[in-house]
A = this chain, B = another copy of it.
Amino acid sequence: MTGTVGIGMIGARFMGKAHTNAWRQASIFFDPPLKARLRVVCARSPRVHEFARRWGWEKSTTDWREVIEDPEVHIVDICSPNNTHHDIAIAALEAGKAVCCEKPLAMNSEEARRMVEAARRSGKLHTVWFNYRRVPAIALARQLIEEGRIGRVYHFRALYLQDWTMDPAVPLVWRMDKQVAGSGVTGDLHSHIVDLSNYLAGEIESVAGVSRIFVSERERPEGGRARVEIEDASVFLCQYANGAIGHFEATRFANGRKNGNIFEINGEYGSLYFNLEDMSRLWYFDSREPKHIQGWKRISVWEEVHPYMNRWWVPGCAIGYEHTFANQAADVLFALAEGKPVPPTFEDGLKCQLVLDAVLEACQTGQWVKVKKAE
């Protein structure tokens, strides 16, 4: 297949901007056989029309069903709030569209399971925007693991540290609204690092956790004060099926940390370390080198041989946050032409959700909780 593929995007805020850019840039920089055509963007606010003008969408609408009914739309790209994913995704799949859905896949694993079923029934491409799998340094981490450079895994530890809600004057935006977001940092931040753990370290079997609401009441953007019902911070321990142990922290109250998506994996033969605040680097320790020259190697992941990097600039030229989305969009455009799946699929989204559900339960009950199986 060559030509264009119509995108219908639902959601037109921060992620809408990121996705729009991703589709545009992927189509140019990767020169895929199918190019993205920005067919229609949808959002509940009439500001969507101005958004469409500025960002180059052919059409705009405030009714997401129009997107799904549009025969020119081949991919439905969902970046609206979490509580909308389930209905839109299933409707889109049933309408025969490929679906690219923002993370977390759903409000909970029941929703996610139904979405997986719909995806399977449809036979269409489905992927979740866990964009960090396409940070070249993280894709390289996966490659090094597959090359056998780490061996048996002993430890995985991950942090996702931010500080943007520390000020009590920050209003209760949708990400802090339990009805819309489902959870706080669990769905927003833990989802990313749990997906990376699934990608890099293996299957989590059980968890224990604790969470906190540090600011208990906030102003609503539309006026009026509301009790905060979602967690500002959450930490959990876990046991892996492979015998490893791990711990995870997600917080919006780590002063000075802006986008501190950090992980380290320690294995039998070596270790890997990554920090999104220094996203061009992967640190690698290899304990099989001669002892006197062992050390943590700071690999600058901007060589042509590194994942995705031959599509961008030349060695030494950093790419940034936005490119992780473009890399995924490109993979979608290639896969669609070739009829291949694009991980993380909805199954991967479900696996992540099952861990998140267990974490929420563990925090609530003060018990170790077993993670349910995806199948």
What separation, in Å, do the CA atoms of A243 and B233 have in the docked complex? 12
What separation, in Å, do the CA atoms of A319 and B236 have in the docked complex? 31
Is A174 an interface position by the 8 A CB rule?
no
What separation, in Å, do the CA atoms of A21 and B366 have in the docked complex? 47
Q: In the complex, are the beta carbons of B297 and A298 less than 8 A apart?
A: yes
Task: Write the chain B residue with the least CB distance to A285.
Answer: B256
From B162, B243, B249, B254, contact of A212 by CB (8 A): B243
Write out the residue numbers on chain B whose beta carbons fall within 8 Å of the beta carbon of A264. Answer: 254
CB neighbors of B among A351-371 (8 A): 366-368
Write out the residue numbers on chain B whose beta carbons fall within 8 Å of the beta carbon of A366. Answer: 208, 368
Q: In the complex, are the beta carbons of B299 and A258 less than 8 A apart?
A: no
What separation, in Å, do the CA atoms of A295 and B302 have in the docked complex? 11
Write out the residue numbers on chain B whose beta carbons fall within 8 Å of the beta carbon of A296. Answer: 256, 297-298
Write out the residue numbers on chain B whose beta carbons fall within 8 Å of the beta carbon of A254. Answer: 154-155, 264, 266, 271
Task: Write the chain B residue with the least CB distance to A302.
Answer: B258
What separation, in Å, do the CA atoms of A18 and B284 have in the docked complex? 31
Q: In the complex, are the beta carbons of B212 and A245 less than 8 A apart?
A: yes
Is A31 an interface position by the 8 A CB rule?
yes
Specify how many copies of this chain sit in the oligomer: 4
Is A45 an interface position by the 8 A CB rule?
no
Q: In the complex, are the beta carbons of B233 and A245 less than 8 A apart?
A: yes
What separation, in Å, do the CA atoms of A17 and B260 have in the docked complex? 32
> Which of A159, A247, A271, A302 is most buried by chain B, counting CB atoms within 10 A of its CB?
A247
Task: Write the chain B residue with the least CB distance to A294.
Answer: B299
Is A164 an interface position by the 8 A CB rule?
yes
Q: In the complex, are the beta carbons of A315 and B266 less than 8 A apart?
A: no
Mark contacts of A282-316 with chain B using CB atoms, 8 A cut-off: 1 yes-contact digit, 0 otherwise. 00110100011111111110110110000011111
Is A251 an interface position by the 8 A CB rule?
yes
Write out the residue numbers on chain B whose beta carbons fall within 8 Å of the beta carbon of A322. Answer: 312-313, 317, 319
What separation, in Å, do the CA atoms of A260 and B271 have in the docked complex? 14
Task: Write the chain B residue with the least CB distance to A304.
Answer: B291
From B161, B269, B277, B323, contact of A300 by CB (8 A): B277
**Known contacts A28-B54, A164-B315, A209-B237; A293/B300 CB under 8 A:** no
Is A253 an interface position by the 8 A CB rule?
yes
CB neighbors of B among A263-285 (8 A): 264, 266-271, 276-279, 284-285
Is A86 an interface position by the 8 A CB rule?
no
Write out the residue numbers on chain B whose beta carbons fall within 8 Å of the beta carbon of A294. Answer: 256, 299, 303
Write out the residue numbers on chain B whose beta carbons fall within 8 Å of the beta carbon of A251. Answer: 154-155, 266
Q: In the complex, are the beta carbons of A316 and B237 less than 8 A apart?
A: no
Q: In the complex, are the beta carbons of B255 and A267 less than 8 A apart?
A: yes
Mark contacts of A312-330 with chain B using CB atoms, 8 A cut-off: 1 yes-contact digit, 0 otherwise. 1111111111110000000
Top-5 shortest CB links A-B:
A259-B316, A258-B316, A256-B285, A317-B321, A295-B299
**9 more A-B contacts (CB under 8 A) besides A21-B28, A296-B298, A319-B321?**
A14-B314, A18-B313, A154-B254, A155-B233, A155-B249, A208-B237, A284-B293, A319-B320, A367-B367
